[in-house]
Amino acid sequence: MTSTDKMYIAISLNSKYMRYTYVMLTSIFENQPKDLDIHIYLLHNDLTDQDKEHLQNVVGSYNGTLHLLQIDTSLFPESCPISNEWSLEIYFRLLLQDILPEDVDRILYLDVDIIVNHSLEELYNTDFEGNMLCACADAFCGTFPDFRNKIFKEHLEHGFIYFNSGVMLLNIACMREKYHLEDYLIIAESLDYKLVAPDQDILNYMFWQKVKILDETKYNLFAKWAYQHDIHYKEVKEQVTIVHYIGYKPWSGEFVHYDIEQLWWDYAKKTPFYIELMEEFVYETINFSEVYSAMETIKNEKRMLKEELAKSADLCQRLLQLVQG
């Protein structure tokens, strides 16, 4: 393990995610030593001047340094898969070894839908042991679609562990000597762009033998997975360094929520966007039609069960009368 008084962190976002990034940045700085020199590299394409001002304010308020790196989207072919879930910005992390200054030899890449809940120093100073990156196993990799299994068929036969790209410590000093954006795009083209989690699949395909796997329950805990395994807010708050809200987001009112999301709101409360985020959340929640639909289904099921129970009770009464008579 090495030690440093500087920490480099990379984040990729679009304007839509600016406020959520603000919450995430707040959680980072709130949990790091005050004398640690933290440099944030923000990869973006469409941030407004106001967005930049907000992000500069939060980083500056903790005496951090913000580096805004505007990315040319024409670097990525139109064939790269994008969707409502996967925006073009997910590919920006593939440029890090090409665009970072020479004095950056390692960098921690973090998705914006996470909360940093403790110091990142131990993670950041992890020994690469000759690997290109450190990452955590994807807790939901057991739900691979069949065609993704085909992509990684050869890898799976050799003890392949599929990692999540939302938290990665990158060995930039070694990567910039051997890899460039073109190398990743060649892989995407060779796979005919049939990717599930596009950038993540590419990174796994490239580095499956060059990744050091870390403890996902500490450094990349999927909030929904934790809740499904009876891990709750108090335990997560006390023990977990990084919580990842993949899939449904804690700020979205359009689904059923669980207690670990409170951790995200703990840090949102420290930002100037707390009230508007909360108002949007409440509005979405009370107008979420699927909740009413689910409640109506439960009511109908309850009525039917009550009717069946009444029939069973009546039948039992008749049988009792027959036995006694």
pLDDT (tens digit per residue) in 262-318: 999 999 999 999 999 999 999 998 887 766 676 777 888 888 889 888 889 888 888
Q: What is the mean pLDDT of residues 134-159?
A: 69
Residue with the bigger pLDDT between 91 and 158: it is 91
Residue 60 phi, psi dihedral angles, 5° rounding: -65, -35
Q: Does the pLDDT of residue 260 top 90, yes or no? A: yes
CA distance 178 to 122: 27
In the structure, what pLDDT confidence band is assigned to residue 147 with cuts at 50, 70 and 90?
Answer: very low
What's residue 80's pLDDT? 78
> Where do the H-state alpha helices sit in the chain?
18-30, 49-61, 96-99, 121-124, 146-151, 153-156, 172-178, 181-190, 198-207, 216-219, 223-228, 233-239, 262-268, 274-286, 289-324
Q: What is the pLDDT of residue 187?
A: 87
Contact 165, 195 (CB under 8 A): no
276-302 burial, b at 16+ Cβ within 10 Å, e below that, comes to: ebeeebeeeeeebeeeeeeeeeeeeee
Can you tell me the distance from the alpha carbon of 181 to that of 130, in angstroms, rounded to the nearest whole number?
Answer: 21
The per-residue pLDDT for 143 is: 55
DSSP bridge partners of 133: 170, 211
Contacts of 24 (CB under 8 A, 6+ apart): 11, 110, 112, 113, 114, 115, 116, 267
pLDDT tens sequence across 216-234: 999 999 999 999 999 999 9
Mean pLDDT score, 228-249: 95
Burial 77-105 (b: 16+ CB within 10 A, else e): eeebbeeeebbbbbbbbbbbbeebeeebb
User: What's residue 287's pLDDT?
Assistant: 84
pLDDT of res. 176:
95
What letter represents residue 89's amino acid?
E
Looking at residue 230, its amino acid is: D
Position 242: which residue type? I
pLDDT for position 18: 98
Identify which of 132, 118, 122 has the alpha carbon closest to the alpha carbon of residue 173.
Answer: 132
Q: What is the pLDDT of residue 320?
A: 82
More confident residue, 245 or 83: 245
pLDDT tens-digit series, residues 50-90: 999 999 999 999 999 999 999 999 998 787 767 667 688 99
Beta strand 242-244 with 114-116: parallel, antiparallel or unpaired? Answer: antiparallel
What does the pLDDT read at residue 301? Answer: 84
The pTM assigned to this predicted structure is 0.86
Give the pLDDT confidence score for residue 63 in this predicted structure: 97
pLDDT at 250: 96
Of 89, 98, 112, nearest to 198 by C-alpha is 89
Q: Find, among 204, 207, 241, 10, the residue nearest to 107 by Cα.
A: 10
Task: Categorize the per-residue pLDDT at 1 as very low, low, confident or very high, splitting at 50, 70 and 90.
Answer: very low
Question: In Å, what is the CA distance from 194 to each residue of 87, 179, 189, 199, 284?
Answer: 16, 22, 9, 11, 33
- Residue count (the chain): 325
Residue 144, pLDDT above cutoff 70: no
**pLDDT confidence band for 148 (50 / 70 / 90):** low
pLDDT score at 153? 63
**Main-chain phi, psi angles of 147, to 5 degrees:** -70, -25
Give the chain's mean pLDDT.
90
Going by C-alpha positions, the residue among 153, 141, 149, 154 that lies closest to residue 216 is: 141
Where do runs of H (alpha helix) occur along 131-273? 146-151, 153-156, 172-178, 181-190, 198-207, 216-219, 223-228, 233-239, 262-268
